[in-house]
Amino acid sequence: MLSAQGIKPGSINMGRVLRQLRHRSGQSRLVTFHRVPIFGKDDYGVEGGTVVAQELLFPGLPALIRPAVTADYRMEQAGANIIGVSRVYTPNIQTIKGFPNFEQTTSNPDFNEIEGWDRFIDRQRNIFQAPTSGTTGWTSGTADTTFTTDGQQITATLGTDYDGTFYYTTSATNTFESDRLTFQIKASGASTIKLTNFKTYNGNSDRPGTGSAADYAITYTPAALSLPTGSNPDDSDTDSDWLTVDVPWVSGTVASGTSIYKDGARYEVTVASGDDFGYTKNFRDIEFEVSGTESGDTVMVRGIRFYKSISWHVHSLKELNDEFMTFNCVRTRGARDSRRRAY
């Protein structure tokens, strides 16, 4: 494969290798890079409650993950746990800094390099994927929308009532094993189109916007997040014209909130849930609300997935060279779904 790409002997274009492997096998894939927020310290070196550096949450990092042990089931003092060990290969740091959000600029000074106890959030398996290859199930909410598809993305064209909601609905579907939600979204038309919020509904019988549906929703509200409006013909999953959203979908998210990054800038996301929402309940709808639109504008969505993740924490840097980096990583915890559902 390397010779077919015209790579010089003794040199490895790791970015290209990972991209080719991603299209041909599941060994290479895009992971989400995460660094927890850093809290300030008092005069005695004790961390307080003031965040001095926000969390970093960057989807779209190409990586080759080679687990030595994916799941080692343990009984610990706090109860059942799952640990593991893997080796993770990434492009060199100069290449990584060419990816969206990873660029180190004056507006994004916080990412320098991958450090110890940063983590790679990998997708263990998809639990449910909302189809965007057809228009079945896609419905106008408070926005007047018509839907088309090119087989990969759903396109919502806005009519006379252009600011508002549209959603996908399905029959009751289990998503309990999921702990993260991801999708890609972009727009065309006005340059001020914003993603006001997005919601998932679990356990409801009424459709969004009717009856008691709001009581069964969890709502993610980003702060003034404008959607990208580029028209790059590249349709790859690393296309910078798309905004990639990858957020936690698990207990504790409401209290802590989360982040969406666009062009290196962080947009804080507050999370609120209705009184009757529950992760154990069956999924019914996912809803998007947009604003700042005009009649004829379009919003495109693809890759809507609820998935179960594995977090690989960086333990040590095994190899660093001009072509690639190799990290020894550990999995420090994992949920046993049978216990999670039972309790």
Torsion angles phi and psi, residue 106, rounded to 5: -65, -30
Retrieve residue 118's tokens.
């940063």
Torsion angles phi and psi, residue 277, rounded to 5: -70, 145
Place of tokens 């994004």: 108
**From CA 343, how far away is CA 338, in angstroms rounded?**
9
Q: Is 60 in contact with 99 (CB distance < 8 Å)?
A: yes
- Provide mean pLDDT across the span 226-241: 67
Does 6 score more than 60 pLDDT?
no
pLDDT at res. 123: 94
Retrieve residue 275's tokens.
């009184």
- Provide mean pLDDT across the span 205-231: 92
Place of tokens 């018509």: 146
- Provide mean pLDDT across the span 217-222: 97
**From CA 82, how far away is CA 294, in angstroms rounded?**
50
- Provide mean pLDDT across the span 300-305: 97
- Provide mean pLDDT across the span 166-187: 96
What is the tens place of the pLDDT at every residue in 309-324? 999 999 999 988 888 9
- Provide mean pLDDT across the span 253-261: 91
Place of tokens 């969505």: 301
**From CA 247, how far away is CA 258, in angstroms rounded?**
7
What is the tens place of the pLDDT at every residue in 262-288? 988 999 999 999 999 999 999 999 999
- Of the pLDDT bands very low, low, confident and very high (cuts 50, 70, 90), residue 22 is low
- Provide mean pLDDT across the span 37-58: 91
pLDDT at res. 336: 79
**SS3 string of the chain?**
CCHHHCCCCCCCCHHHHHHHHHHHCCCEEEEEEEECCEEEECCCCCEEEEEEECCEEEEEEEEEEEEEEEEEEEEECCEEEEEEEEEEEEECHHHHCCCCCCCCECCECCCCCCCCCCEEEEEEEEEEEECCCCCCCEEECCCCEEEEECCCCEEEEECCCCCEEEEEEEEEECCCCCCEEEEEEEEECCCCCEEEEEEEEECCCCCCCCCCHHHHEEEEEECCCECCCCCCCCCCCCCCCCEEEEEECCCCHHHHCEEEEECCEEEEEEEEECCCCCCCCCEEEEEEEEECCCCCCEEEEEEEEEEEEEEEEEEEEEEECCCEEEEEEEECCCCCHHHHHHC
Place of tokens 């840097």: 317
Domains parsed from the chain with CATH numbers: 3-125+317-342 (no CATH), 127-308 (2.60.120)
Does 5 score more than 60 pLDDT?
no
**Sign of the C-alpha dihedral, residues 20, 299, 183, 325?**
positive
- Provide mean pLDDT across the span 192-217: 95
- Of the pLDDT bands very low, low, confident and very high (cuts 50, 70, 90), residue 232 is low
What is the tens place of the pLDDT at every residue in 119-170? 999 999 999 999 999 999 999 999 999 999 999 999 999 998 889 999 999 9
What is the tens place of the pLDDT at every residue in 62-121? 999 999 999 999 988 888 889 999 999 999 999 999 888 998 776 677 888 999 999 999
- The reported pTM is 0.89
Q: Is 164 in contact with 142 (CB distance < 8 Å)?
A: yes
